[in-house]
Amino acid sequence: MKVTYPHMGYLNMPVSKMLNNLGVEVIEAPPISKKTIELGSLYSPEGVCLPYKINMGNFIESIDQGADTLVSVCGAGKCRLGFYNAVQKIYLAEKGQIQFYMLDTNHLFSDLYRFLRTVAPRASRLVILKNMAMGIKLLKALDAMNEAKNFYGARTNSPEQIIDICRGGTQELANSTYKKINFIRDFTISSIGAICNNNQCRPPRIALIGEFYLLLEPYVNHSIEDLLIKQGIEVKKFVYTGNWVYSNTLLQALGLYSEEKAYLDQAKPYLNYHVGGDGLKSVGSALQCARDGYDGIIHIYPFGCMPEVVAQSALKNIANDYNLPLLTLSIDEHSSDVGIITRIEAFADCIKRKKYQH
Amino acid sequence: MHVYLGIDVGSVSTNIAVLDEFGKVIDSLYIRTQGRPIEAVQNGLRQIKERNPEIKVKGVGTTGSGRHLTGVIVGADSIKNEITAHAVAAMHIMPDVKTVLEIGGQDSKMIIIRNGVVTDFAMNTVCAAGTGSFLDQQAARLNIGIEDFGDKALESTTPVRIAGRCAVFAESDMIHKQQTGHVTSDIINGLCQALVRNYLNNIGKGKQIQSPILFQGGVAANKGIKRAFEEALGCPVVVSPYHNVMGAIGSALLAKEEVTQTKPTVFRGFDVIDFVYTPRSFECSGCANMCEVVEIKMNGNVAARWGDQCGKWSNSVTVA
């Protein structure tokens, strides 16, 4: 059995570690490239959203390298993600005997545990739970480093250096042991902090909201966070893999947290219903930022993403009421980086000039 | 005379503006890019130099989709996106402007300005219907010079309804109307109104369009579109006297800011007119990203490379 999974930001790191520790053979898809997207689009319905196509590309590339067991998440009743696997199965059937494992986001903890028990039957329960904890810890460390990068990167003259340090720390974490995770995290964050030479300044702040996959995968969002940091703008993101996995596994399993209820309260009165996907969350986070005095909102989603299109109307009302600039980026496989970079640069200029002239 | 140059290399046209130290426009030039930006810039600079032999350049700014390429070719002090450049120019020409409508060759944008600060903007995303290239095409198809397109629209008394949502459907709609016997001027007027409708529905959605309104970009020369805007918005729309070179004016102003703040200009001088520039592009095989790297050689030496994400190629250039 050779297991593979689609890429999404740095999620592959804890997943491959977890599986390797449990003695499962892993064939990781090559990093997302133009070829991945081309392959994925070739085997996908034309109108489907970009994350589907990239997932598909990842699967095909790893199947070509010998993978025969695919694992992915689905979120039944939320958006098209719920049907990804059903459609992907049909398209991939011609590739031969392939085993599909789905982790339902509504029962992430139990599904993940069951999956690990199946692929690693000889591992003890304790070892499996330990590895799940390691995965969450690793993800949270990566999130913390990324947040530090976004915070200090906007308060320095050499943001490139900070981005490099963060990248280096990320690679180190990939090879670290459980015990060293916190050490590497703290060391990276303090090295990042050391480069920050203007702790007192208050750079413009932008809320980056939108669809989950687009926010987390730098290849498809054209490293939008780094682009903004280099313009001297602090980026605040509300979607982090670690936090999400943590609250959707442990906390939810213990009944301490319900993601949907939290956002429903937050988004009132601009959006009072679940619209699927992350639509409600986008609106809720944007409203919170508007009230906190942020300088702008960037909304990013895959072209044709229904929940985010609904959210967009609510976002326009928020932007209007709070007099906030709003940049909407709808991305598909044809989006050229030039167009996106131009818009981001112009948006950053607009916000900076506004802030510093007042 | 000390001047600042602004160069705007767009999809359809390449524009150069010459501003004196007080920001007054001394000369401007509008030529077609014709798919060869490097030659267009060299050609434009040659004409500027011939017309103004006594100028001494204190700063150069570039903008437009060809801004990075042009920045390398001429040695620019400021390389800025066209939205910022257009906003700066609009506020320079009309200090109390509140809304800027801009329609260029392949993009259209709206810039909202309050109290001298850009507060919001929008730019067309997936659709180019209603931009200059489409009008160009239709003018050619009807065998009317693009310069006369607007006047033709003004002759119309009863505009026909054209679907402006999509360039392809707009064209088939126009052909259909022409085959059923409508007058050309009415069809053109209908097209103008359709394009304005499309612009306001897409780009202007949710934006507070307040007067004074400044209309700029190549399409602002089209009187039919101007009238359609005035009818749709119910208030006067001012066409900037330099509407087709506003981007260039803005980038010259940005260059002026940049140079006074820091150091002397990095302009390579008018010698660049005769330099030999050879661009090439290749796909880097260093990693899975497979970046498309562009390399520009100036007189045989590598002047710049870009397009790589990791900096392997762009940082390896030492010639400034």
| A224 and A340 together in one domain | yes
Q: What is the pLDDT of residue B59?
A: 93
Residue A74 lies in a domain: yes
| pLDDT tens readout for residues B39-62 | 999 999 999 999 999 899 999 999
| B133 and B57 together in one domain | no
CB pairs under 8 A between A and B: 67
CB contact under 8 A, B83 and A32: no
Structural domain of A164: 134-153+155-201
| A138 and A252 together in one domain | no
| B175 and B256 together in one domain | no
CB contact under 8 A, A33 and B290: yes
Q: Which residues in B lie closer than 8 A to residue A303 (C-beta atoms)?
A: 126
Residue A128 lies in a domain: no
| pLDDT tens readout for residues B164-190 | 767 777 888 888 888 998 888 998 898
For an interface test with B, which of A206, A221, A349 has the most B Cβ atoms less than 10 Å from its Cβ? A349
A32 in B contact zone (CB under 8 Å): yes
Say which amino acid occupies B56.
K
Q: Which residue of B has its CA nearest to A348?
A: B84
- Into how many domains does chain B fold? 3
| A230 and A325 together in one domain | yes
| A345 and A237 together in one domain | yes
Is the ipTM of this structure higher than 0.85? no
In this predicted structure, the answer to whether residue B320 has a pLDDT above a threshold of 70 is no
| B256 and B290 together in one domain | no
| B72 and B152 together in one domain | no
Q: Which residue of B has its CA nearest to A325?
A: B120
A303 in B contact zone (CB under 8 Å): yes
| A115 and A26 together in one domain | yes
Q: Which residues in B lie closer than 8 A to residue A323 (C-beta atoms)?
A: 119
| B169 and B259 together in one domain | no
- Tell me the whole-structure pTM to 2 decimals: 0.84
- Please, what is the average pLDDT of chain B? 87
Nearest chain B Cα distance for residue A346, angstroms: 6
Least CB–CB distance from B120: residue in A325, A338, A357: A325
Say which amino acid occupies A275.
V
- Into how many domains does chain A fold? 3
- The C-alpha atoms of residue A74 and residue B149 are separated, in whole angstroms, by 54
| pLDDT tens readout for residues A310-341 | 999 899 899 889 988 888 888 888 777 777 88
Nearest chain A Cα distance for residue B282, angstroms: 14
In this predicted structure, the answer to whether residue B11 has a pLDDT above a threshold of 90 is no
Q: What is the pLDDT of residue B262?
A: 65
Q: Which residues in A lie closer than 8 A to residue B87 (C-beta atoms)?
A: 350
In this predicted structure, the answer to whether residue B130 has a pLDDT above a threshold of 70 is no
| A104 and A235 together in one domain | no
Residue A247 lies in a domain: yes
Structural domain of B229: 95-239
- Please, what is the average pLDDT of chain A? 87
Q: What is the pLDDT of residue B135?
A: 84
CB contact under 8 A, A30 and B288: yes
Q: Residue A167: which region, alpha, beta or left (left: phi > 0; alpha: psi -120 to 50)?
A: alpha
Nearest chain B Cα distance for residue A201, angstroms: 21
3-state helix/strand/coil string of chain A: CEEECCCCCCCHHHHHHHHHHCCCEECCCCCCCHHHHHHHHHCCCCCCCHHHHHHHHHHHHHHHCCCCEEEEEECCCCCCHHHHHHHHHHHHHHHCCCEEEEEEHHHHHHHHHHHHHHHCCCCCHHHHHHHHHHHHHHHHHHHHHHHHHHHHHCCCCCHHHHHHHHHHHHHHHHCCCHHHHHHHHHHHHHHHHHHCCCCCCCCCEEEEEECHHHHHCCCCCCCHHHHHHHCCCEEEECCCHHHHHHHHHHHHHCCCCCHHHHHHHHHCCCCCCCCCCCHHHHHHHHHHHHHCCCCEEEEEEECCCHHHHHHHHHHHHHHHHHCCCEEEEEECCCCCHHHHHHHHHHHHHHHHHHHHHC
